[in-house]
């Protein structure tokens, strides 16, 4: 049904955003999936729409914040939204992908692997609609820098700051404030214009830079 194509498109769309646009609150997730929509093949789009719940009205972007709304209903899903490292630039799946009790494969990278596998396997016991909604959300999460941050500062949540005179923390700024400010400053608060600009840059200016963003070259520990 083209769901692997969906995964690839979501990865590229999320990774290819300008630094000022990498924010992953509700609006950021909506925009990530809206951007991805523009790159889906007709086969992939048909497959995606077949799995969407009726309340989404055929729009992938409408379900992309669903996973955040389920954290209390599905308490086991909370650690699936991030993958923190012990303070350096290297992520080790074996070392870092676990929950606070040491259960393995419990992190955003493990979740992406598991829900991708579930969508590929028609005999999977997982609900395919929920698998799609989780996958679309987690691929967005993994590209928010502070969802792949450091254990010692809880992904930036303990780093207090002021954002335009408002008290905040580094994680919240990345999750929502940066994208709102960028949309206001560069796109006159026009979400569609921002989405179209990002879509153009994915296939033009940023396409040649994608490989440079896949690995962290610095071995220096952060401050």
Dihedrals phi, psi of 171, to nearest 5 degrees: -65, -45
Q: pLDDT, tens digit, for every residue of 160-216?
A: 999 998 999 998 898 888 888 999 999 999 999 999 999 888 887 787 777 777 666
Name the residue among 146, 175, 153, 151 with its Cα closest to residue 163.
175
pLDDT at 78: 92
pLDDT at 220: 54
The CA distances from residue 200 to 9, 84, 117, 204, 212, in Å, are 14, 32, 31, 6, 19
Per DSSP, the residues of 34-53 read HHHHTT--HHHHHHHHHHS-
Whether 25 contacts 178, CB under 8 Å: no
- Asked if residue 217 belongs to a domain, the reply is no
- Asked if residue 221 belongs to a domain, the reply is no
pLDDT at 98: 92
At 36, the pLDDT band (50, 70, 90 cuts) reads confident
Whether 107 contacts 98, CB under 8 Å: yes
- Asked if residue 222 belongs to a domain, the reply is no
At 147, the pLDDT band (50, 70, 90 cuts) reads confident
pLDDT at 1: 43
Alpha carbons 85 and 125: distance in angstroms, whole number: 31
- Asked if residue 219 belongs to a domain, the reply is no
For residue 219, pLDDT beyond 60? no
- Asked if residue 135 belongs to a domain, the reply is yes
- Asked if residue 59 belongs to a domain, the reply is yes
Token pair listed for 85: 């490292």
Share of the chain above pLDDT 90, in %: 50
Work out the end-to-end distance of the chain between its first and last CA atoms, rounded to an integer number of angstroms. 45
Phi-psi region of 187 (alpha: psi -120 to 50; beta: other; left: phi over 0): alpha
Number of domains in the chain: 1
- Asked if residue 223 belongs to a domain, the reply is no
- Asked if residue 145 belongs to a domain, the reply is yes
Domain of 53, in residue numbers? 3-212
Q: pLDDT, tens digit, for every residue of 75-109?
A: 999 999 998 888 777 888 999 999 889 899 999 99
Whether 131 contacts 118, CB under 8 Å: yes
CATH code, 87: 1.10.575.10
The CA distances from residue 223 to 58, 84, 87, 150, 153, in Å, are 45, 16, 9, 11, 11
Alpha carbons 73 and 64: distance in angstroms, whole number: 17
């Amino acid at each position: 049904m083209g769901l692997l194509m969906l995964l690839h498109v979501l990865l590229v769309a999320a990774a290819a955003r300008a630094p000022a646009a990498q924010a992953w609150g509700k609006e950021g997730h909506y925009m990530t999936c809206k951007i991805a929509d523009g790159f889906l093949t007709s086969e992939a789009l048909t497959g995606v729409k077949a799995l969407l719940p009726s309340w989404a009205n055929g729009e992938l972007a409408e379900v992309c914040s669903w996973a955040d709304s389920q954290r209390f209903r599905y308490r086991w899903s909370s650690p699936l939204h991030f993958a923190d490292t012990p303070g350096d630039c290297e992520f080790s799946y074996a070392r870092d992908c676990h929950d606070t009790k040491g259960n393995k494969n419990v992190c955003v990278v493990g979740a992406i692997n598991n829900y991708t596998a579930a969508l590929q396997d028609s005999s999977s016991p997982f609900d395919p609609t929920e698998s799609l909604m989780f996958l679309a959300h987690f691929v967005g999460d993994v590209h928010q820098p502070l969802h792949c941050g450091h254990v010692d500062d809880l992904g930036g949540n303990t780093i207090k700051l002021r954002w335009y005179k408002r008290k905040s923390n580094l994680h919240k700024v990345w999750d929502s404030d940066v994208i709102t400010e960028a949309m206001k400053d560069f796109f006159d608060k026009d979400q569609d214009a921002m989405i179209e600009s990002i879509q153009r840059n994915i296939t033009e200016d940023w396409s040649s830079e994608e490989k440079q963003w896949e690995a962290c070259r610095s071995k220096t520990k952060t401050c």
